[in-house]
């Protein structure tokens, strides 16, 4: 399996350290990010073990671990205790949250969201998702999603147990670049053919306040999205809880992916 080019990474780390006064772990993070954005590191390429990296790079183990943790939180790498660390397939992340669309304030460029999966659980907590999916129990996937340096939003995906139960056995580290839309298409032939949106300003949930590090009772934007497939069959319910000051969103009826 292909591995990242450590010579390129070392050069970039040294350049970042010379250019910036930021802490060393931030220089390592920035070097990784630049190598990924420049295409030097490809999705699926393996990142060598931490000990090997410290032997090859001008950084200590603690510094490296801080940088890798931040990279995983930002969805740039996927870490797994058994199989190791890999460059994330960010193209899958775009498909996963394609309804969460934002553009650069100056250039109008469509910005790529980052995704970090927090948990996958089977649940029966009452909510509009039960009515939307016509189920009592469901599989809930909670994620942090964000663009560039913006504060994150909490995204919660709700699937019927029939469609989501297999995800309960997958480590969350392996789901950062996954696509529920693709699962519904490939496994169940349920592409999203239309959506309904409902947006309102109200008190964010306790779960959202906890993960977004907001004071309990904070008022933000709550955005519900219902996905429908063939025969107008409901296939997915999404809820985005967005903190105060979040950048304006773009609603666009683009389906697929």
The ranges assigned to domains in the chain are 6-88, 106-242
Determine the Cα–Cα distance for residues 129 and 46; give it in Å rounded to an integer: 38
Kindly give the confidence (pLDDT) of every residue in the chain, 257 residues in length, as a single tens digit, with 9 standing for 90 and above. 588 999 999 999 999 888 888 899 999 999 998 898 788 888 778 899 999 999 999 999 999 999 998 888 776 787 766 568 888 764 444 344 457 777 777 777 777 677 788 899 999 999 999 999 999 999 999 988 887 667 889 999 999 999 998 888 888 877 766 678 777 877 887 877 788 999 999 999 999 999 999 999 999 999 999 998 877 889 999 999 999 988 777 665 544 43
pTM of the model: 0.62
Determine the Cα–Cα distance for residues 25 and 13; give it in Å rounded to an integer: 10
Determine the Cα–Cα distance for residues 10 and 6; give it in Å rounded to an integer: 6
Domain 6-88 belongs in CATH node 1.10.10.10:
yes
Rounded to 5°, the CA angle 229-231-232 comes to 55
Fold that domain 106-242 belongs to in CATH: Chorismate lyase (3.40.1410)
- The residue with tokens 């100056």 is 106
Do the first three CATH levels of 6-88 and 106-242 match, i.e. the same topology? no
**Within 13 Å and on the Cβ side, how many CA atoms surround 203?**
5
DSSP-derived letter for residue 150 is S
Determine the Cα–Cα distance for residues 57 and 71; give it in Å rounded to an integer: 17
């Amino acid at each position: 399996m292909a591995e990242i080019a450590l010579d390129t990474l070392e050069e970039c780390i040294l350049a970042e350290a010379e250019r910036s006064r930021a802490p060393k772990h931030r220089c390592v993070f920035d070097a990784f990010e630049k190598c990924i954005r420049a295409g030097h590191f490809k999705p699926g390429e393996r990142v060598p073990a931490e000990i090997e990296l410290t032997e090859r790079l001008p950084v200590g183990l603690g510094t490296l671990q801080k940088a890798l943790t931040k990279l995983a939180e930002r969805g740039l790498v996927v870490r797994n205790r058994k199989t190791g660390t890999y460059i994330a397939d960010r193209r899958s992340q775009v498909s996963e949250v394609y309804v969460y669309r934002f553009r650069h304030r100056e250039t109008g460029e469509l910005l790529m969201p980052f995704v970090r999966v927090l948990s996958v659980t089977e649940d029966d907590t009452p909510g509009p998702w039960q009515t939307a999916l016509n189920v009592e129990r469901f599989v809930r996937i909670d994620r942090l999603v964000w663009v560039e340096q913006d504060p994150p939003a909490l995204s919660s995906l709700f699937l019927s147990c029939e469609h989501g139960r297999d995800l309960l056995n997958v480590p969350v580290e392996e789901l950062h670049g996954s696509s529920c839309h693709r699962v519904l298409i490939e496994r169940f032939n349920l592409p999203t053919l239309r959506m309904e949106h409902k947006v309102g300003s109200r008190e964010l949930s306790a779960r959202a306040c906890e993960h977004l590090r907001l004071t309990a009772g904070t008022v933000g934007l709550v955005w519900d999205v219902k996905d429908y497939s063939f025969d107008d069959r409901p296939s997915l319910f999404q809820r985005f809880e967005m903190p105060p000051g979040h950048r304006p969103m773009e609603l666009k009826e683009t389906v697929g992916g």
